[in-house]
Structure 1
Amino acid sequence: MQLTSVLRALRGGAVPLDLAGPRPSADDAVGPVGARPSRPCPDQVRERASGLPAAAAADLVARVDGLSDREAWQVVDPLRPAPGTGVLRFGTAAARQVDETACGAAVLAMIAAHADPAVALWLVTGDVPGRRPPVLEGLGSSTGPAGRLAGLQAALHVRSTRRAVLGVLPWPTALGTPPWGAARVASELGARAGGQRSTSYRSVMLDDTRPDEIGGMLARVRCALAQGVPVPLYTGGDTSDGWAAAVPRHVVLLTGLDTAADTAETAGLRVYEPSSGREHVLAEHALLDGGAPRAAYGGWSHVCWALLPAQPAARHEA
């Protein structure tokens, strides 16, 4: 049994997943992502920079042009590892959580890099095109990619736990990142993004022993990922390993749809797992079959909370 199962039994009723906003239109879908070329093409770089002010966008394009193929992709598409490796990186630094309580902060850092190319470029090179993004205020740039990533995680951990208890008191950082605090910060990152899309999140408690509930969540996840909107999931265990395992214990990030090598059909979900920094491919039916430890869940066995987009990604007006 999970803690969320008990809470749901006391609460009653189903989680109102439909309140997470209208479904995205097919016109906005980017679809599953398959193989990619060795280097992003100029149009991809310009599209990535297009949400920035004109001078900053031109600066970003010029800076990416001077990067290696691998580093260029780290800026243009930071949620995918380089071909031939399953580890996500910034520069040579693996995108891992810096300590055992920072999984949520690591996921938020990846959302920040995905939402704003200026953040991704800073993580790779220490440079910022144009005005420094608010999320980077107070952070140095001379400590290398690993140090910059650690600093960003620490800052996001503080932000996501601040005023997380009744909107007034801080959440103990030793207990990780509460879902509602992570949803607030993820929404702030989406609203301030340098890209073309803006996303807000809401935290939704889940019970993966209810197939209809997980099926509804999965439908929303597919829509979000098809738009390029990543979705954080909280994972944990159950009371078979004690009550300490039955609470949310880890955070992972669904980053995209995966396609089969020889077809255009979706084969699964791409998952960033921060303790290893690796990308895993999780079969969709695995979300409906809770109870088995999975590497994509950080070794845990259940999905117990999700941060779902509260409104469809929308394009900013010019």
Structure 2
Amino acid sequence: MILADLQLTRVLRAAGAGRGPLPLPPPSGRYALPDAAASSARRAALRAGHPGQVADRLVTVLESLRPWEREHVLDPLRRRSVAPDQRRDLAGGPDLTVGRPVGQGQGSAPGRPDLRFPEPLVLGRARAVQVDETTCGSAVLAVLAAAGDPVVSLWLVAGTDVSRGARELVVSEGQVDATARELETSSGRFQALQRLLKARTTRAALGPFPWPGRLGTPPWTAARDARYADVRFTHRIVAGGGPGDPVLASALRSVAAGVPVPLYTGGDVGTGWSTAVPRHVVLLAGVSGPQAEAGGDDGTPAHGGRWCSVYEPSSGALHRVRVADLLAGTRVAGDPSKAVRRALGGWPYVTWAVLPAGRAGGSRRVG
């Protein structure tokens, strides 16, 4: 490694920070996407910790929504929007793409997303864009929470709080300076939730001391405060080992099991000392396409034609890239494609991952 390729995260990892056994991926099938059936939406609400009466109110409200609103609530990350020969969505959901057109951001060739056109991620009537340059992590955590909790996503999309003030991620008037007028719109609700999450993740970040707000969200408090269904999270530094990197492989396995993974991205000393630290946060949202049966010459898995979707909050869009290209971009001397750079918010490397580590209230599962 030459000096120009130096990353602070690699130095921290060499010193023992952000290391440890990798958590086991979530069990296959546990975090299947809720479908249009009332029982499925109810189960998702119960798994997110809501009592039965809240889950029942959710089902009642969902029945009154327009189809596109219901789709935004139940699948905010569009994990079912895959091309016809990619219907086996590894997020665990059933194939609901039969008879549906290929979504925006996908090319006309079957199974080959058009990487030139990312798909805007819209919640209700608002594009899911970060509030400012310091809230990329907050936006990612907000979308992560919505993807795992239909009560939160219903509030973001339609403004209806079926928890009646009981849910911690549903912002009330006066909380984090939210006004009644702001909370009337999807964009206002998404901005208010970002402010709430930023306040939460900067609190007690350095022992009892707060994290400077101008520096965004540190990975350890992102892991502490991340919410997805009943999942708890931990964090690990990405070593930058290329296609065989164990942290990125663990992240992909978790996403394949149905749990999205926040990823921190950044540069190296070659582009300036200030870029050699984690600079941005994106969300590895879904994985689709056939898995290759054989591994590479070095014993690492071959990912073949698999694709992944990445939510990038500065553009408020879902980017689809080849898994192999994403992994290649983690190499120290790698030259990531333009599509990968766009998906990573303009940065060349994945530097840190916030990984699922068992169920909240349960023991931490590590391999």
Same fold (TM over 0.5): yes
Percent identity of equivalent pairs: 42
Query: Of 71, 74, 80, which residue of structure 1 is paired with 2:72?
Result: 74
2:342 to 295, 312, 316: 295
Shift, 1:12, TM fit: 6.6
Give the structure 2 partner of residue 211 of structure 1: 242
CA distance in structure 2 between the partners assigned to 1:43 and 1:93 by the alignment: 28
Query: Counterpart in 2 of 1:21?
Result: 23
Give the structure 1 partner of residue 357 of structure 2.
310
User: Corresponding residue for 1:109?
Assistant: 142
Deviation at 1:23, TM superposition (A): 4.2
Question: 1:185 — aligned with what?
Answer: 225
Normalising to structure 1: TM-score of the pair?
0.82
- State the match for 1:148 in structure 2: 189
**Is the deviation greater in 300-309 or in 76-85?**
76-85
Select 2:103's aligned residue among 74, 84, 88.
Answer: 84
Whether 1:201 aligns to 2:241 is no
Measured at CA, do residues 26 and 90 of structure 1 come closer, stay the same or move farther in structure 2, by a change above 3 Å?
closer
Q: Which has the higher helix share?
A: 1
Q: Residues 1-318 of structure 1: matches in 2 within 5 Å?
A: 1=5, 2-9=7-14, 11=15, 15-16=19-20, 19-26=21-28, 28=30, 30=32, 40-51=36-47, 52-80=50-78, 84-85=103-104, 86-132=119-165, 133-138=167-172, 139=175, 142-165=183-206, 167-186=207-226, 189-190=227-228, 197-208=229-240, 210-211=241-242, 215-259=245-289, 267-290=306-329, 291-292=335-336, 294-311=341-358
CA distance in 1, matches of 2:190, 2:36: 23
CA distance in 1, matches of 2:16, 2:157: 47
Asked if the contact 1:48–1:76 (Cα under 8 Å) also holds between the matched residues in 2, the reply is no
Unaligned segments of structure 1, at least 5 residues? 191-196
Cα deviation, 1:147-189, whole Å, max 9, x if unaligned, reads: 0100000110110011112x21111111111111111111xx3
Taking the aligned partners of 1:227 and 1:237, their CA distance within structure 2 comes to 29
CA distance in 2, matches of 1:229, 1:279: 16
Distance 1:107 1:60 in 2: 24
SS of 2:190 mapped into structure 1: helix
Shift of 1:119: 0.9
Unaligned runs of 5+ in 2: 82-101, 105-118, 291-303, 330-334, 363-367
2:198 partner letter = H
**Distance verdict in 2 for CA 1:23–1:224, change over 3 Å:** closer
Change (3 A) 1:313 1:27: farther
Q: TM-score normalised to the size of structure 2?
A: 0.71
Question: How far apart are the structure 2 equivalents of 1:122 and 1:92?
Answer: 12
Native 8 Å contact 2:285 2:308 kept in 1:
yes
Closer/same/farther in 2, CA of residues 157 and 199 from structure 1, 3 Å limit: same
**How many residues are aligned here?**
291
Q: Deviations over 1:10-58 (max 9, x none)?
A: x279943xx233344445474xx9xx9xx93445434434443222222
